[in-house]
Structure 1
Amino acid sequence: MLKIIAILILLFPTTVFGDCTCESEDTKHNKEAALKYKLGSIASILVAGAVGVSLPLLGKKIPTLRPEHDIFFMIKAFAAGVILATGFIHILPDAFDNLTSPCLKENPWGNFPFTGFVAMLSAIGTLMVLELGILVHSVISGISLSASQSPETIKPLMVALSFHQFFEGMGLGGCISQGKFKFRPAANMATFFSLTAPVGIAIGSGISTGIFNAAAAEILIYMALVDLLAADFMNPRMQSNMRIQSGAYISLLLGSGCMSLLAKSA
């Protein structure tokens, strides 16, 4: 099943790219500006992942930096709101536009809702793989960012992926810390994780946006709801503390609201 999903996701973008020949599509996008943001996103996401992995290790000596500190519940809720709005408001509408474009042939693209289909497969695939899913959705989201030719899409996705890498890095760093690995294997794991999304950005150069936008949108939505919000809001510590709970709800609304407002300005 996973092999079929991977083949569909990898092969469909090539088909879309080959079919889309409308010149009007190219004139909408400032490729030069998009390239500038792509290069900036590599640095931003790389640093965010590296810092996230390092914090739990530093938390052994600096208690304030420990991931279980109260303030991190609020920060993670804000990040989840940003990621959720990025998936729903910024990325998914672009995927619908890409895959219903008049540039594409009516058969098969006009005869089936491929955007929803790919999003559904992405959610199922992420659910079927928990630890591997971290790497897979990092790479696919990076590919989606690189495949986009619109600065208006790249900017919010860069913010969401930076948050994503930061908090996924914190989770991985916590596991490394608890596992008491020696320096070299710990450093190798941290480095490998930090490079996943930037590698995805490199892989995605020149690939069409539609399929990967649909996949990345659903992965971001899944990650925000399941990996960040569900894990924290089901935490007994949050459920027994109304102050933390209220702060997390406010942070969630602020994060999603701010990122939604960016869609209006874009």
Structure 2
Amino acid sequence: MTNYNFKHIAIFFILMSIFTPQVLSVVEDCGAEEDNSCVNKSKALPLKIIAIISILITSMIGVCLPLVTRSIPALSPERSLFVIVKAFAAGIILATGFMHVLPDSFDMLSSSCLKENPWHKFPFTGFVAMLSAIVTLAIDSIATSLYSKKHKAGVVNPENGQAEGGDHEMGVVNAGHSHVHSHHHHGSFMTKDGVDATKLLRYRVIAMVLELGIIVHSIVIGISLGASNNTCTIKGLVAALCFHQMFEGMGLGGCILQAEYKFLKKTIMAFFFAVTTPFGIALGIALSSTYEENSPRALITVGLLNASSAGLLIYMALVDLLAVDFMGDKLQGSVKLQIKSYMAVLLGAGGMSVMAKWA
């Protein structure tokens, strides 16, 4: 299977499992009206425009900051500070799944607007979140396996210096790190300067899956904000989303950096992350006259997809971000660094949990 075809298949299944995750508004009882003193369409529009600009800027700062750390010795991926910052960002992503997306799904699928049978008879939120985590695991595992097989087929021949087939981009990376040794140990391929090509493949799969999940949920966050005319809600959401997007972007940016993509692909991935929430806000503004957040169809659709997104984000945060680093050689070799990283995780998760009061 070619890399091109695999990427499209992976994108299809990921979007099927996590399409449309988080809606920030709290579900009200069926037919409940908003506070008229806060609902003002003319005053809400300027706030939405401010939100587009501020969220775009903070998203760009968040996702680009790790990508420029190589020029700052203290923040390079080899330093302890980078690991601590990445742990903080992973805590943000973990809290997004547990404290924002999952509770929204529970609220929506337990709404009095929905029929008693089957929505109040079975815990659909937990079930769908569980399935989403399993599907994400399958994609993660299969993608890593396929990329590894393609890379083994494309190992540079040390006798003639030519790649024997395989992924072109991996060949470019290998060329950048000098030739790859033809021998391997325990399934790991090492470049001449000590870069573990197997880990590089894992970083690329992680970056791809996390990017897709975050992009989709960022769009829906924006739609929810753009569709609202409640100025009281919007004011709190703007600050909360700026915080959320900046540090979630740092987590994604760290993964993109470790994946060692070429400059063009790094730029494209950073660009799509930065613009998706502002694009969602603009789309929400256009849909504000027709969007009904408490209709049964909207509650069921978004509630189920929220649960799916929660499963993906929780899996990615725990397995592909935190577990990989905490069980890796760097943190395992330093208890002091582990404690600092744990504190960073708690700080990130705690800060994002506090944001749940407004978002």
Structure 1 residue 174, shift from structure 2 partner:
4.2
Given the alignment, which residue of 250, 253, 258 partners 1:169? 253
TM-score where L is the length of structure 1:
0.72
For the 8 Å contact 2:95–2:349, the answer to whether it is kept is yes
Q: What amino acid maps onto 1:165 in structure 2?
A: G
Q: CA deviation at 1:96?
A: 0.5
Deviates more, 1:145-154 or 1:237-246: 145-154
Alignment of 1:211-222 (within 5 A): 211-222=304-315
How does the TM-score come out when normalised to structure 2? 0.56
Identify the match of residue 115 of structure 1 among 112, 118, 125: 125
Shift of the 76–120 alpha-carbon distance from structure 1 to 2, 3 Å rule, reads: same
How far residue 21 of structure 1 moved from its aligned partner, in angstroms, is: 8.9
Distance change in 2, residues 1:249/1:173 (3 Å): closer
Please give the residue correspondences for 1:2-17 in structure 2 after superposition, counting only pairs within 5 Å: 6=15
The alpha carbon displacement at 1:115 in A equals 1.2
Asked if 1 retains the 8 angstrom alpha-carbon contact of 2:256 and 2:266, the reply is no
Tell me the SS of whatever aligns to 1:101. Answer: coil
Find out whether 1:142 has 2:218 as its counterpart. yes
What displacement does 1:156 show? 5.0
Q: Distance in 2 between matches of 1:210 and 1:245?
A: 36
Structure 2 CA distance for aligned equivalents of residues 243 and 85 of structure 1 = 24
Q: 1:154 to 1:169 in 2, by over 3 A?
A: same
CA offsets, 1:169-225, max 9 Å, x none? 2321443xx45x4x6565445424433455556667647442343233333322321
Aligned to 1:133: 209
2:274 is matched with which residue? 194
Q: Which residue does the alignment assign to 2:199?
A: none
| Amino acid across the alignment from 2:30 | C
Give yes or no for contact 1:49–1:194 (8 Å, CA) kept in 2. yes
Aligned to 2:31: 23
Q: Compared with structure 1, are the counterparts of its residues 210 and 236 closer, same or farther at alpha carbon in structure 2 (3 Å cutoff)?
A: same
Q: Distance in 2 between matches of 1:142 and 1:201?
A: 10
Change (3 A) 1:63 1:85: same
Query: 1:74 matched to which residue of 2?
Result: 84
Q: What is aligned with 1:249? A: 342
Give, as a single letter, the amino acid of the residue that structure 2 aligns with 1:228: L
Q: Which has the larger radius of gyration?
A: 2
Q: Structure 1 residues 265 and 5 mapped into 2: Cα distance closer, same or farther (>3 Å)?
A: closer
Matched residue, 1:62: 72
User: Equivalent residue for 1:16?
Assistant: none
RMSD of aligned residue pairs (Cα, Å): 4.1
How many pairs align? Answer: 255
